Amino acid sequence: MKPLFALSALLLFLTIVQGKKPNVLFIVCDDLNTHLGSSGYAYTQTPNLNKLADQSLTFDRAYCQYPVCGPSRASFLSGLYPESTGVLNNTSDIRKTRPNSPSMPAFFKKHGYWTGGVGKIYHNTKTDPGEIAWHQNIRFENDELSVVAEARKKFEAEHGSVDDRKNKKAWKALRGKVGGRLTAQTPPGYGPSGLRDEQHKDGKNARQVVQWLDQRKTDEKQPFFIICGIQKPHVPFLAPDKYFKLYPPKGISYDPNPLDDLDDVPPLALVKRSVSFGFEFGKENDALRREYMQAYHACVTFIDAQIGLVLNKLKEEKLWDDTIIVFTSDHGYHLGEHYLWGKVTLFEESARVPLIMRVPGMTRPKTRSPALVELVDVFPTLAHLCDLPAPKELQGKALFEVLDKPDFAGNGSAYTVVSRGAQLGRSVRTARWRYAEWGEAREAELYDLKNDPREIHNLAKIKKHKKTLDEMRALLARRQKDAISAR
């Protein structure tokens, strides 16, 4: 069978000829949508990811299982759907909801890999598995902003340390004032940071991985499994000044929303976080939208530069042909589409993620796949590529056929959920359609993604689409049943 033959050849090449298992580098970004050159978006500069894509397989239709950081990461790092992990918000801990489920890094450590994690991998340190998963695990912070550092020095010269109890309240107020929109919580901060690349946490994250690779011995037999957690472009949208200069606001391009865009959308399908960004919900603000998009795109190009350091180091240390590379994001992000900002929706902008995979000896350069794949597929795929016995409870599917033959249909559908209070909104996508149900009333959405890729026209109440509606409803019910099968 051709896919299995290709897999066998890969394993033979990597495990017998080289005498060891392949290394794994897993790069996961935070809040990164598909505004990348490698994803076909022409308005951002991402030369390093473009080069990676040129030597890899790029998935054009990859989806997260829950468009919020904590639940998404708990899902793909366990290989389970959110309804099985029990993690449906940013406060739940999979170690408590499923204490016996192995995490991806713990699995690789158990099977003899050196495991290193840097940056944001799990949502926070409270939910990170710790020593059972990692040989080394590091989180950095940005250096102090220059405008804040200058103000702090003047304050301390007059009042003493900002850490003194008597000074904390006054310093907090002054810090917010001098930091201005850079440090604001609401609306989210954005703008040139005044810092160098290496002073940002993502600059530190990439340089830490470079250091690990540099420290490896030439004859190192133990393979590595490294997850590089990239924090940007999560808010605040801060990046070194030079990246902002690449995107003058007047040159920003976007498709305006139709005035009636939201008229046929169930209320539960929407979130109004745009108000916290300074927008009036349901109304366009061209100038502000351009400013935020400039900042977001500046962050994208900034992280591309940091990722380039890691990829170049792999080549420099002659690890390029020994290392499986996976690049993705925990979920997408709205930048004004449907008048929405942020995540927490089931629209394409929120649920779709970039996904690039390079498997030496298997994937072919400059290939793209239209197959529907899910982030929950990453764990079983990496386990099998490394010839390791994948845990039986994993719900994702190893992507053998797609890696070997990019035109293969893949999963046939992709399943994503998101909470609305105590209820879940559920959606399923096929090659052409997206269907969603909201709340106990099962308010529905049906979009023809072939003819309406922006999801403007909800066809759920159009009589001529009743057959499709019924078919998609039945498919969603089957996917829901499968998603809770590991409970």
Residue-wise pLDDT tens digits, 166-224: 999 999 999 989 998 999 889 999 999 999 999 999 999 999 999 999 998 877 899 99
Q: Does one domain contain both 166 and 137? A: no
pLDDT computed for residue 18 by the predictor: 55
pLDDT computed for residue 19 by the predictor: 60
Place of tokens 């102090």: 144
pLDDT computed for residue 407 by the predictor: 87
pLDDT computed for residue 227 by the predictor: 98
Q: Does one domain contain both 224 and 324? A: yes
Q: Does one domain contain both 82 and 167? A: no
Q: Does one domain contain both 217 and 330? A: yes
Place of tokens 């865009």: 261
pLDDT tens, position by position, 270-319: 999 999 999 999 999 999 999 999 999 999 999 999 999 999 999 999 99
437, part of any domain: no
Cα 441 from Cα 285, distance rounded (Å): 33
Are the CB atoms for 415 and 484 separated by under 8 Å?
A: no
Its domain, for residue 165, covers 146-182
Which residue, of 389, 413, 437, is where some domain finishes? 413
Q: Does one domain contain both 63 and 79? A: yes
Which residue stretches of the chain have pLDDT < 50? 1-9, 11-17
* CATH number of residue 106's parent domain: 3.40.720.10
* Prior bond of 233 cis (ω within 30°): yes
Q: Does one domain contain both 85 and 174? A: no
449, part of any domain: no
Q: Does one domain contain both 242 and 165? A: no
Q: Does one domain contain both 340 and 372? A: yes
Q: Does one domain contain both 277 and 178? A: no
95, part of any domain: yes
471, part of any domain: no
93, part of any domain: yes
Q: Does one domain contain both 159 and 296? A: no
Q: Does one domain contain both 285 and 360? A: yes
404, part of any domain: yes
Residue 19: Cβ within 10 Å count: 8
Which residue, of 413, 439, 469, is where some domain finishes? 413
Q: How many domains, the chain?
A: 2
Q: Does one domain contain both 178 and 210? A: no
282, part of any domain: yes
Cα 360 from Cα 377, distance rounded (Å): 19
479, part of any domain: no
Count Cβ atoms within 10 A of the Cβ of residue 103 and give its class: 0-12 exposed, 13-18 middle, 19 or more buried: buried
| b/e map 392-414, b = 16+ CB within 10 Å | eebbbbbbbbbbbebeeebbebb
Which residue, of 125, 157, 182, is where some domain finishes? 182
